Amino acid sequence: MSDHAGRRPTIVQVARLAHVSHQTVSRYLRHNGGLKPETVRRVEAAIEELGYRPNLVARSMRTRRTGRLAVLLPAPALLLPTRLLSAAAVVAHDAGFLIEVVSIEGGPRERAGRALELMTSGQVEGVLSLSSLPGLTDQPATPSRAAFAVVGEYDDELHGIGELADASVVAEIVEHLADLGHRHFLHVAGPDAWPSARARRQVYAEVIERLGLVSHGVVDGDWSAECGYAAVRALPGTSPVTAVVAANDPMATGAVRAALDRGWGVPERLSVVGWDDLELGRFATPSLSSVVVDREEQGRVAMERLIALVRGEPEPERTRLPLNRLVLRESTGPAPVLG
């Protein structure tokens, strides 16, 4: 049995197993860099074998660092961006930080004041806000204030804005379907209170007009599968509509179900495209053509930027794919020839 069994492994044990000094292990844990790749490999292998985790309390007493980061949400937060938060948490934990999610009530200025209080409280080393706050922009840590970074892709009700509301892929959807011979379309829209829904509705109308296609209506939806189902069930039996562009996957799934209930094959009679690329749609029959929204990448990039600000390091360079990307699957195909 190893000499560390039953006890919390120490940095000295990690150093001994990796055949390096404890100062080298400490340097690795501080992410100071400059270590040889072989040294990094041995240290990481020793940490993994021992199950070593830094003692954040002791580190805080020595360095005045807390090892904690905060993610700010406007309150009440009824729809949490769980995929973004999960990806951000993984990045934080891998870097040796704990994170806590803080929901702050009030208007933007009140939340900005509360954010400043948190940044100067000494309780956290960095603050990541999902919505923009007046007077606060990305800033590195100082001896008296925590670092701050903002995602800026959500409004005060956590509705997607900015790149999350970019609807340019709707044009790509309609153009692709038009290339397949589709000329008659229906759009099942999201609630008008959502910037993303308004943008998708607007781009849909613009591209239909630009390409000389025919829209047989825009159905006001509520993001539910029932809404998509009702929209397709309401089409006349002789409707020339052969393509449905839905503003999210649940409404698209409802549209597919309604088509099948009417005896309309998908995509043989009706092509359907959704948005969000939910897992259920990928495994449905037929699998759903949709728009991937890479919220995980958004969370990773934001947290990496915050950690760089905390440490006074340059933001890591990475090649970012577009946040929204069309993925074609079984629910779309060539336009049928209707009698």
Query: What range defines the domain where residue 202 resides?
Result: 163-293
Q: What phi, psi does 216 have (nearest 5°)?
A: -100, 30
Query: For residue 58, is it within any domain?
Result: no
CATH of the domain at 25: 1.10.260.40
Assess whether 170 and 258 both reside in one domain: yes
Assess whether 169 and 252 both reside in one domain: yes
Query: For residue 274, is it within any domain?
Result: yes
Whether the predicted pLDDT of 178 surpasses 90: yes
Select, from the ranges 68-82, 154-168, 233-247, the one with the highest average predicted confidence (pLDDT). Answer: 233-247
How far is it, in rounded angstroms, from Cα 84 to Cα 71? 11
Lowest mean pLDDT among 9-18, 51-60, 193-202, 300-309: 51-60
Assess whether 27 and 108 both reside in one domain: no
The per-residue pLDDT for 3 is: 47
Assess whether 167 and 289 both reside in one domain: yes
Assess whether 96 and 139 both reside in one domain: yes
Query: For residue 282, is it within any domain?
Result: yes
Assess whether 154 and 168 both reside in one domain: no
The per-residue pLDDT for 339 is: 66
Assess whether 32 and 74 both reside in one domain: no
How far is it, in rounded angstroms, from Cα 323 to Cα 325? 7
Assess whether 152 and 167 both reside in one domain: no
- Our count of domains for the chain comes to 3
From the CB of residue 238, how many other CB atoms can be counted at a distance below 10 Å?
Answer: 7
Assess whether 126 and 167 both reside in one domain: no
Regarding beta strands 271-273 and 243-246, do their DSSP bridges make them parallel or antiparallel, or are they unpaired?
parallel
Assess whether 289 and 200 both reside in one domain: yes
What average pLDDT does the structure give for the chain? 87
The per-residue pLDDT for 109 is: 86
Residue that wins the pLDDT comparison between 159 and 19: 19
Closest CA to 258 of 282, 291, 224: 224
Query: For residue 198, is it within any domain?
Result: yes
Under the banding of pLDDT at 50, 70 and 90, the label for residue 233 is: very high
Whether the predicted pLDDT of 181 surpasses 60: yes
Q: What is the DSSP string of 94-139?
A: HTT-EEEEEEE-S-HHHHHHHHHHHHTSSS-SEEEEEE-BTTB--B
Query: For residue 334, is it within any domain?
Result: no
Assess whether 174 and 136 both reside in one domain: no
Query: For residue 316, is it within any domain?
Result: no
Under the banding of pLDDT at 50, 70 and 90, the label for residue 29 is: confident
- C-alpha dihedral (155, 131, 293, 288), degrees to nearest 10: -40
Assess whether 179 and 107 both reside in one domain: no
